[in-house]
Amino acid sequence: MLTRIREVRKAKGLTLHDVAARCTPPTTAQTIGRLETGTRTVSVGWLNRIAAALGVEAADLVTLPDRFELPVAAMISADGAAAPRKPITLLPPTPASTMVGIIVEVTQGDYRAGDALWAERLEPEAFGRAINRDVLVPRPVGRFAFGRLVATEGGRVQLLPAASGARQLVLDAPWIAVVRQLVRSL
Pair 113, 106: CB distance under 8 Å: yes
Predicted confidence at residue 71, as pLDDT, reads 83
In three-state secondary structure terms, 42 is coil
Residue 66 has pLDDT above 70, yes or no: no
Domain boundaries, the chain: 5-66, 99-183
CA 45 to chain CA centroid, nearest Å: 24
Residue 26 has pLDDT above 90, yes or no: yes
Domain 5-66: give its CATH architecture: Orthogonal Bundle (1.10)
This prediction has a pTM of 0.62
Is domain 99-183 classified as CATH 2.60.120.10? no
Residues in Cβ contact with 85 at an 8 Å cutoff, skipping those fewer than 6 apart: none
Q: Per residue in 70-112, pLDDT tens?
A: 788 998 889 989 998 888 877 667 677 788 999 999 988 889 9
Round the average pLDDT of the chain to a whole number and report it.
88
